[in-house]
Amino acid sequence: MTALRRIQKELADITKQPIKGLSVDPNEDNLFEWNCSIRAEPDSPYKDGTFRFKVVIPSSFPFKPPTVTFLTKVYHPGINDEGHICVPILRDEWKPAITMSTVLSVVQEKLNNPSPDDPFEPDIAAQLKNDKSKFLATAREWTKQYAHS
């Protein structure tokens, strides 16, 4: 099975070269499911927060992208209430050459650096654009409430 071999190689690569601030814990019974977490960077609106998310890799990987779902509630223009994250490489920009390390790095970057462009949550994006201090206060409040370590 091609997908499983690729996943095993990718896990080995991530173990050899871990991504700072990110942990990956593959499900022992099913390597197609990973439990991950991101420790937000100190200059992020989410600093001091640890955000858990699940990665589900399809059996058609690497021809179809993995699904990333945040389990920790986050006040973010690019992550909706169901925990889905809006990043182009997980949709129309997916290519089989994209590695799981790249996917995880992009998810980490998106969490730490919210942008009002290409939002999943237009109201939060508008607030980030028009009332950044209120956005930051709400992001900090949610981080304290849901993403404490």
Residue written as tokens 């650096």? 113
Question: DSSP 3-state assignment of 85?
Answer: strand
The model's confidence at residue 148, banded by pLDDT at 50, 70 and 90, is confident
Is the pLDDT confidence value at 146 over 80?
yes
CATH number at residue 111: 3.10.110.10
pLDDT at 149: 60
Mean pLDDT (whole number) for 80-109: 95
Whether 86 is a known active-site residue: answer yes
Distances (CA, A) of 101 to 17, 45, 98, 106, 135: 9, 23, 8, 9, 30
Whole-number Å distance between alpha carbons of 59 and 85: 21
Give ∠ CA 134-137-143 in degrees, rounded to 5. Answer: 140
In this structure, how many other beta carbons lie within 10 angstroms of the beta carbon of residue 137?
A: 13
The model's confidence at residue 147, banded by pLDDT at 50, 70 and 90, is very high
In the set 55, 86, 128, 147, the catalytic residue is 86
Is the pLDDT confidence value at 134 over 70?
yes
In this structure, how many other beta carbons lie within 10 angstroms of the beta carbon of residue 24?
A: 18
Question: DSSP 3-state assignment of 71?
Answer: coil
Domain range spanning residue 70? Answer: 2-147
Give 13-46 pLDDT, tens digit per residue: 999 999 999 999 999 999 999 999 999 999 999 9
Rg over CA atoms, the chain? 16
Give 53-94 pLDDT, tens digit per residue: 999 999 999 999 999 999 999 999 999 999 999 999 999 999
pLDDT at 1: 65
Are the C-beta atoms of 56 and 32 separated by less than 8 Å?
yes
Q: Work out how many domains the chain is built from and give that number.
A: 1
